[in-house]
Amino acid sequence: MLDIAEELNRWVEQGRDFAVATVVAVTGSAPRQPGAALAVDEAGTAVGSVSGGCVEGAVYDLCVQALQDGETVLERFGYSDDDAFAVGLTCGGIIDILVTPVRAGTPGRQVYEAALAAAARGGAAAVARIAEGPQELKGSAVLVLGEDGEDREDRGDRFLGGFGGHPELDRMVAEEARALLDAGKTGVLEVGADGRLCGEPLKVLVESSVPPPRMIVFGAIDFASALVRIGKFLGYHVTLCDARPVFATKQRFPEADEIAVDWPHRYLERTETDGRTVLCVLTHDAKFDVPLLRLALRLPVAYVGAMGSRRTHEDRNRRLRDVGVTELELARLRSPIGLDLGARSPEETALSIAAEIVANRRGGSGAALTGAHIPIHPDAPATAARRIGSVA
């Protein structure tokens, strides 16, 4: 739901009722991951996607039905052996879809509205709702907002909404939703039957929406211009940094979210990074690279890559060792940067760098899929069910 928050928030502001279908779980090969959503309003307008087209028609009908009867349902779609073009996934996977009506006066409406507003403005928010369990709890939801959330004052257990008079369940789910939000992940909680829910186990879908991850590109060169563009395409908040004001300009890098005119290592010292940040060093000049990489390789970021020939790479590694960079730290450096695509132009080079970043993020090998016996969509541990409490 939160992946289409901007459009849904507009629907909320316009007072529209709608139903939203969200991918809860994926088994095998499937085009969309948990959290992907399709929504339908009372006029029949649809936004989003849950399967890339395979089961959209059937899910659309489920949304229309949910709008009419107000019932939250969980539906499973798999491969159709008799007819690959019947309702099913032609890729052979299985997906579970949670369809929730969001109508005026229905349980959870206030929570969904707050979650969509937070996500639409780029804030951090996690919304938890019942995927499997007693019908009377379906449709209720809990919202946890990030530090920038308008409804949070601290990092405690304050949250909006609840699961129908089960305060201990509310508290537990809010804590787990906070953990998933801090990690920027979407997942399913399996809440054990421990007496608080009259002996009936629950599955709770937690969707997280966090601000875009950062890409910081060091070096205002033509290759950087292409990398800034592809970084924006991949959904990063992109900063271009260079110490030379004549090159680091908005005119040369119009797609960049931010232009920083500073020595690269000084900028990196004062800016905020996290475990999703990617750092791309394109300066290939020792006076910039060495102090920058010495710092970068000690930060808990997702990716550090540096441009240069193999000779430049060896010389740079020697200089880094001379200033105290360890072999373990050097092992984090992706250099020469990018995958071997035979790239020549700035655009091709940017594509090879982006491909390496995606492979690093998703655990891909970078090998061709043709003839390979490897999963196209490997299981994502970030979305695996997590068991909470004593499961019967």
Q: Read off the pLDDT of residues 65-99 as tens digits, 9 standing for 90 and up.
A: 999 998 889 998 875 544 333 444 445 568 889 99
Cβ-contact 8, 21 below 8 angstroms: no
Q: Is the dihedral of CA 349, 350, 351, 357 positive or negative?
A: positive
When pLDDT is averaged across residues 147-160 and rounded to a whole number, the result is 46
Cis-peptide, bond into residue 375, ω within 30° of zero = no
9: left (phi over 0), alpha (psi -120 to 50) or beta: alpha
Tell me which residue has tokens 């939203």: 20
- Percent of the chain topping pLDDT 90: 49
| Residue 368 pLDDT greater than 60, yes or no | yes
**Statement: residue 161 has pLDDT above 80:** no
Instruction: Tell me if the domain spanning 214-362 has CATH number 1.40.20.10.
Output: no
Which helix (DSSP H) or strand (DSSP E) does residue 94 occupy? strand 94-102
Q: What is the pLDDT of residue 290?
A: 95
Residues 329, 130: Cα–Cα separation, whole Å: 43
- The secondary element (H helix, E strand) that includes residue 177 is helix 167-183
What's the pLDDT at 322?
96
How does pLDDT run across 198-232, given as a tens digit for each residue? 445 788 899 998 888 999 999 999 999 999 999 99
Alpha-carbon gap, residue 20 to 64, rounded angstroms:
10
pLDDT band at 41 (very low <50, low <70, confident <90, very high): very high
- pTM exceeding the 0.85 threshold for the entire prediction: no
12-26 per-position pLDDT tens digit: 999 999 999 999 888
- Position 272 scores a pLDDT of 93
Q: Is the pLDDT of residue 158 over 60?
A: no
User: What Cα–Cα distance (Å) separates residue 126 from each residue in 86, 111, 180, 223, 335?
Assistant: 35, 10, 8, 37, 36
- pLDDT of amino acid 109: 86
Average pLDDT over residues 368-374: 76
Residues 114 and 14: their CA atoms lie apart, in Å, by: 15
Cβ atoms of 273 and 296 within 8 Å: the answer is no
Q: Return the DSSP state at 368.
A: -
Q: Across all residues in the chain, what is the average pLDDT?
A: 84
Domain regions of the chain by residue span? 2-209, 214-362
Q: What is the pLDDT of residue 149?
A: 42
CA–CA dist 154, 21 (Å, integer): 32
What amino acid occupies position 29?
S
Is the per-residue pLDDT at 113 higher than 70?
yes
Model confidence at 6: pLDDT above 50: yes
Residue tagged 């890559």 (tokens): 305
Among residues 291, 299, 284, which one has the least CA distance to residue 262?
291
Is the model's pLDDT at 311 over the cut of 80?
A: yes
pLDDT above 90 for 358: yes
Evaluate whether 296 touches 280 at the Cβ level (below 8 Å).
no
Which one has a higher pLDDT value, 161 or 346?
A: 346
Distance (Å, rounded) from C-alpha 320 to C-alpha 317? 5
Contact partners, residue 299, CB within 8 Å, separation at least 6 = 268, 273, 277, 279
Q: How far is CA 236 from CA 17, 118, 268, 384, in A?
A: 32, 19, 17, 25
Considering only 39-48, 71-80, 82-91, 271-280, which range has the smallest mean pLDDT?
82-91
Q: Give the pLDDT band of residue 29 (cuts 50, 70, 90).
A: low
